[in-house]
Amino acid sequence: MTKPTPDPRHTLTLRDVSEASGVSEMTVSRVLRNRGDVSAPTRERVLEAARALGYVPNKIAGALASQRVNLVGVVIPSLSNMVFPEVMTGISETLDGTGLQPVVGVTNYLPDREESVIYEMLSWRPSGMIIAGLEHSTAARTMLARAGIPIVEIMDIDGDPINHAVGISHRRAGRQMAEEIIAAGYRKIAFLGTQMPNDFRAKKRLEGFEEALSRAGLTLVDREYYSGGSALLKGREMTAAVLNRTPDVDFLYYSNDMIGAGGLLYCLAQGIDVPGRVGLAGFNGVELLDGLPRKLATMDACRLEIGRKAARLIADAPPASQVEELFPTLQPGDTIRH
Amino acid sequence: MTKPTPDPRHTLTLRDVSEASGVSEMTVSRVLRNRGDVSAPTRERVLEAARALGYVPNKIAGALASQRVNLVGVVIPSLSNMVFPEVMTGISETLDGTGLQPVVGVTNYLPDREESVIYEMLSWRPSGMIIAGLEHSTAARTMLARAGIPIVEIMDIDGDPINHAVGISHRRAGRQMAEEIIAAGYRKIAFLGTQMPNDFRAKKRLEGFEEALSRAGLTLVDREYYSGGSALLKGREMTAAVLNRTPDVDFLYYSNDMIGAGGLLYCLAQGIDVPGRVGLAGFNGVELLDGLPRKLATMDACRLEIGRKAARLIADAPPASQVEELFPTLQPGDTIRH
DNA sequence: TTGAAAGCGCTAACAC
DNA sequence: GTGTTAGCGCTTTCAA
């Protein structure tokens, strides 16, 4: 029978466990970290005392003393667009064996916010940082470069990494999709996308897309932007707008699958022949949409793999900077004719 | 002209800023925290020195010394189901003015994982914890109860909170939906949901639902469970299965909107009269789906408001435990006849 | 295998 | 307005 747990008004320290078990603080510390050799009986007594007291170690003190923090900062623009949760899965999965823990910060695509999130995170001296994108404020870049820890910029490789980078070429992805569409015989192509000046990756995809069009002697016949609201709904609305304004359009290229899905549902509801009369394509390869009546053409962004490789880089901390390019596969689905 | 930044091989400390600015560490600390009175010129010199050096404070040391950590732990089961991102938005929004920062941990609906996430978080001595659900391991409850910080259990109020709770009654939500369905004249009702033993809230909704059915002398005519995969696709498949197996079913109650949407798309594609031949309802009120051809009946789970109120409780830290019940509104949409 | 001393980088509390 | 001292709760290092 152990005595009832003592007054929980003060947070427990190693000292409390030490006194309760009659073993020095140092030995208690060793037991709790599975460090060094501790005799089995001592170890038992310590563990029992710690458990009975409900001791939770103070990582702040531990980190200060050991100069070691098992945290990895992850800075992403948004949680709500289906793409980052999957990246997080890859990161967690890979970090799981390593003793490292991801800590997420969200920037909402705001550079100022990104800067302050990075600053806050660095002030906890994490073991590494994973950050979406290659575009950051000068101050942010400087902080990261000086932090003396592995930095991995993810999603995109079209640019100049601070340290490591893992991602795809969005420029090339846009180009590839344009080539596929042109090869399928579409000629009156419109773009429908988000109005986010700081979504650099969407911007690069569009650049690549237009580049390929222009190489084929084509230009976009229409474009439509949106911001906020339900993506599915916006997809419908934008699609309606474009089809009305430019009746002879024969392809709609969406900046993401979600608005593409809205467009697809709209076309089907209107009885528009897809992909005969108009073709459609999105971007991301979100599994979420697999249940649609027709499979939207898209490119998967290798999200899981990006998360995994980024985490690997943090865990392994190779001395030399690395850039890992992944290659998305184009999934023609049922909305591009062939 | 300032000299080029010095050797960045060691991480900078207050001492470096102190030396660079010719001001005591203590004063530097004051300036950097906007604390106490510091003369304007001194403040300027310090800030300039800090900026020039690229100093990032060490919060570990600061937290240890001040016994204060501006972090709020947020423990949620999943990032990928649309419901928690919105809760996070509410939390961030509310915490923004307070100097507190949310730190997210994900459990994947695994109790063991939840326990370890909680342990890890508490070991950083956060200012408060927000945790989804009221069901936790005994060890987890004990740790939380003893942490001496505000604890807010969110989403659900059908149970016994550790400290504060903010959420809805899922039992009642299920009951309400059943009553609505029965009032609309449906009698052959099936349930389609996730196979997750640890999704206690879905379970409670179903309990409430069946309770109301039974009060009306009804029982479920069929049920179908799934796990993993694309929710939209699963929704289609499960719906097909139920309609085949139980042809006279006249209502499908889904445990979430996403599979409900899959079911809706399936029914429409099959030319099934919705809501005449079969009615449909989901749960969550995800705005995401607003673009569907028909609006799915659902109940919104007050996610944003839950996040806000939970964060408020942490920030205000009222001495007495509080339970805040929110009341979801039933949105009949177009898939329940009237 | 165990213990004692020193100190991680900062801030509270108090002097000046 | 600014500086000094002590110490937060651990771990490192070294001694026993």
Please determine, for residue A143, whether its predicted confidence score (pLDDT) is greater than 90. Answer: yes
The two three-digit tokens of residue B115, written as one number = 């326990």
- Separation CA A221–CA A185 (nearest Å): 15
Q: Which residue of B has its CA nearest to A61?
A: B64
Beta strand extents in chain A (DSSP E only): 71-76, 101-106, 128-132, 151-156, 164-168, 189-194, 222-226, 251-254, 279-281, 298-299, 323-325, 330-331
Q: What is the pLDDT of residue B169?
A: 98
Kindly report the bases of strand D lying within 7 A of a protein C-beta atom.
Answer: 1-13
User: What is the domain partition of chain B in residue ranges?
Assistant: 14-39, 170-300
The beta-strand segments (E) located in A216-281 are 222-226, 251-254, 279-281
Which residue is listed with tokens 């003015």?
A: B97
Mean pLDDT of A146-153: 97
Given pLDDT bands bounded at 50, 70 and 90, which one contains residue A81? confident
Residues of chain A by 3-state class (helix, strand, coil), percent to 5: 45, 15, 40
The count of other CB atoms within 10 Å of the CB of residue B220 is 18
Nucleotides on chain C within 7 angstroms of protein Cβ? 1-13
The pLDDT of residue B41: 94
Which residues from chain A sit within 8 angstroms of residue B119, using beta carbons? 56
Is residue A7's pLDDT more than 50? Answer: no
| Identity of the residue in A9, A124, A291 whose CB atom sits nearest the CB atom of B60 | A124
User: In sequence order, what E strands does chain B have?
Assistant: 71-76, 101-106, 128-132, 151-156, 164-168, 189-194, 222-226, 251-254, 279-281, 298-299, 323-325, 330-331
Out of A4-18, A112-126, B44-58, B280-294, least confident range: A4-18
* pLDDT level of residue A63 (50, 70, 90 thresholds): very high
pLDDT one-digit tens code per residue, A173-197: 999 999 999 999 999 999 999 988 9
The rounded distance, in Å, linking the Cα atoms of B332 and A298 is 34
Q: Which amino acid is at A263?
A: G
The answer to whether B235 faces chain A, any CB pair under 8 Å, is yes
DSSP, res B283: S
Whole-number average pLDDT of chain A:
94
What gap in Å lies between CA B291 and CA A232, rounded to an integer? Answer: 5
A64 interface with B at CB cutoff 8 Å: yes
**Of B209, B211, B212, nearest in space to B252 by CA:** B209
Classify residue A296 as exposed, middle or buried by CB count within 10 Å of its CB (0-12, 13-18, 19+): buried
Task: Supply the pLDDT for residue B172.
Answer: 98
* Contact residues on chain B for A104, CB-CB shorter than 8 A: 103-104
Read off the pLDDT of residues A233-244 as tens digits, 9 standing for 90 and up.
Answer: 999 999 999 999
Q: Is B304 on the interface with A (CB under 8 A)?
A: no
A53, A16 Cβ separation under 8 angstroms? yes
Place of tokens 């956060």: B126
User: Using H for helix, E for strand and C for coil, what is the string for B174-208?
Assistant: HHHHHHHHHHCCCCCEEEEEECCCCCHHHHHHHHH
Nucleotide at minimal C1' distance from the A33 CA: D11
pLDDT for residue B9 = 56
Give strand pairing partners of A194: A226
| Domain A170-300: which CATH number of 3.30.530.20, 3.40.50.2300, 3.40.718.10, 2.70.170.10 | 3.40.50.2300
Taking contacts as CB-CB distances below 8 angstroms, the residues of chain A near B58 are: 123, 125
Nearest nucleotide to B27 (CA to C1') is D2
Q: Considering only CA atoms, which of B293, B226, B282 is closest in space to residue A293?
A: B293
HEC readout, A173-212: HHHHHHHHHHHCCCCCEEEEEECCCCCHHHHHHHHHHHHH
Question: What phi and psi, each to the nearest 5 degrees, are found at residue B105?
Answer: -130, 140
pLDDT at A9: 55
Q: CA A277 → CA A239, A258, A270, A332, B89, distances in Å? A: 14, 21, 12, 16, 41
Q: How far is B280 from chain A (nearest CA, A)?
A: 17
Q: Which residue from B185, B224, B196 is spatially nearest to B110, judged by alpha carbons?
A: B196
Tens digit of each residue's pLDDT, chain B (338 residues): 333 344 455 789 999 999 999 999 999 999 999 987 899 999 999 999 999 999 999 999 999 999 999 999 999 999 887 889 899 999 999 999 899 999 999 999 999 999 999 999 999 999 999 999 999 999 999 999 999 999 999 999 999 999 999 999 999 999 999 999 999 999 999 999 998 899 999 999 999 999 999 999 999 999 999 998 899 999 999 999 999 999 999 999 999 999 999 999 999 999 999 999 999 999 999 888 899 999 999 999 999 999 999 999 999 999 999 999 999 999 999 999 98
Residue of B nearest to A119 (CA): B56
- pLDDT given for residue A22 in this prediction: 94
B-contacting residues in A 241-270 (Cβ below 8 Å): 258, 261-262, 265-266, 269
Q: Do residues B179 and B212 lie in contact, with contact meaning Cβ atoms separated by under 8 Å? A: yes
Structure confidence by residue, pLDDT tens digits, A313-337: 999 999 999 999 999 999 999 999 9
How many angstroms separate the first and last alpha carbons of chain A? Answer: 77
pLDDT at B196: 87
- In one letter, which amino acid is A311? A
Q: Which residues touch strand C (CB under 7 A)?
A: A 23-24, 26-27, 30, 36-39, 42-43, 61, 64-65, 67; B 11, 13-15, 25-26, 29, 32-33, 35, 57-58, 61-62, 64-66, 68
Q: Could you give the strand order of the β-sheet that contains B251-254, starting from the edge strand earlier in sequence?
A: B222-226, B189-194, B251-254, B279-281
All residues at 6 or more sequence positions from A284 whose CB lies less than 8 Å from its CB, including other chains: A82, A83, A256, A257, A298, A299, A300, A301
What per-residue confidence (pLDDT) applies to A2?
Answer: 34
Spatial contact of A80 and A49, defined as CB atoms under 8 Å apart = no
Note every long-range contact of B316-320, with CB atoms under 8 Å and residues 24 or more positions apart, other chains counting. Answer: B317/B128, B317/B150
User: Taking residues A266-272, what's their average pLDDT?
Assistant: 95
